[in-house]
Amino acid sequence: MEKAEKAEDPVLRVSSSTSFYIFTSYLWRNHVESTNHGGEHYFLPYHRDRLVSAAEAFGWTGVTTFIGGDGGMKRLSGIVVDHLKTVCEEEPSCAMRKIKICVYKDSRFHIETAAITPTDSSNVFYLPTNLNEVATLNCRCLVKLDLESTPTSLFTSHKTSERIPYDRARGAADIAHKPPTTAEVLLFNPRGEITECSVSTPYFQRHGRWVTPSLSSGGNAGVTRRLALQNGLCEEQTVFVESLRHQEIIWISNGVRGFIPATLLLEPLS
């Protein structure tokens, strides 16, 4: 995806607003001794990489200089830790939080946190060793297909405050206030290619292999998507809307909830 360069470019117009930001969200757990997920801050280095990639795409050299390269990870984690100290002083019992890191063009950082109430405290961030495990799991999440296509741009390739197509899709699917553990919606581009879900990455079984939509389709390069590819859980492939099957069992994943087994609904519930 090319950088936003022209003054008449609507992407540049939106991204030049002082209220516009890039962001990433992840899970934080207090007093976690295990480092299986990168310590208390789940995969924070990967989230840093994601922010750097977005900043580069929008031409924010000040941001890339601050959080990229040597010392960048330390500076970013320091900002988050300082915020969490305040949160935990006000709420000593805080044990698990969704952390949202917002970064603005002028290198301002804003941290938001929200309490997480897991459905299964023993397996808060599920990372399967094989996506075929889905056959043994209860798929409580129902995933619908969006009613219309979404044009792709830097706003779909990167996580930003420009959430209009995602909010529209969630509203049309009547899941605006539901977490991805129970409901999601699949988005697709004008070519009929699946791009992503509204707040997660989808995975489909095709010809005996698990695949996730190619970035060339215009979706987000999420952290859990990167994990799945690096761990050999899936491959990249263009996934067309016409290949979807009603009640197909799929996976979705994001940086706060981990991997979630789901059922695809292409027809109304009876």
DSSP of 48-100: HHHHHHHHHHTT-HHHHHHHSSTTHHHHHHHHHHHHHHHHHHH-TT--EEEEE
Asked if residue 1 is part of any domain, the answer here is: no
pLDDT in tens, 3-32: 555 446 888 899 999 999 999 999 998 865
The model's pTM: 0.91
Decide if pLDDT at 115 tops 60: yes
89 and 153 inside one domain = no
What average pLDDT does this structure show over 228-255?
A: 98
Our count of domains for the chain comes to 2
233 and 107 inside one domain = no
What average pLDDT does this structure show over 250-269?
A: 92
**Can you say whether residue 106 is alpha, beta or left, with left for phi > 0 and alpha for psi between -120 and 50 degrees?**
alpha
pLDDT in tens, 57-68: 999 999 999 999
147 and 47 inside one domain = no
Q: What pLDDT is stored for residue 156 in this prediction?
A: 98
From 121, 149, 181, give the residue that closes a domain: 121
Q: Which residues pair with 27 in a beta bridge?
A: 98
Which residues constitute the domain of residue 165? 131-265
Q: Which residues pair with 110 in a beta bridge?
A: 102
Residue 87's pLDDT band (cuts 50, 70, 90): confident
139 and 238 inside one domain = yes
21 CB-near residues (< 8 Å, 6+ apart): 102, 103, 104, 110, 160, 161
Q: What percent of the chain has pLDDT over 70?
A: 90
85 CB-near residues (< 8 Å, 6+ apart): none
166 CB-near residues (< 8 Å, 6+ apart): 187, 198, 199
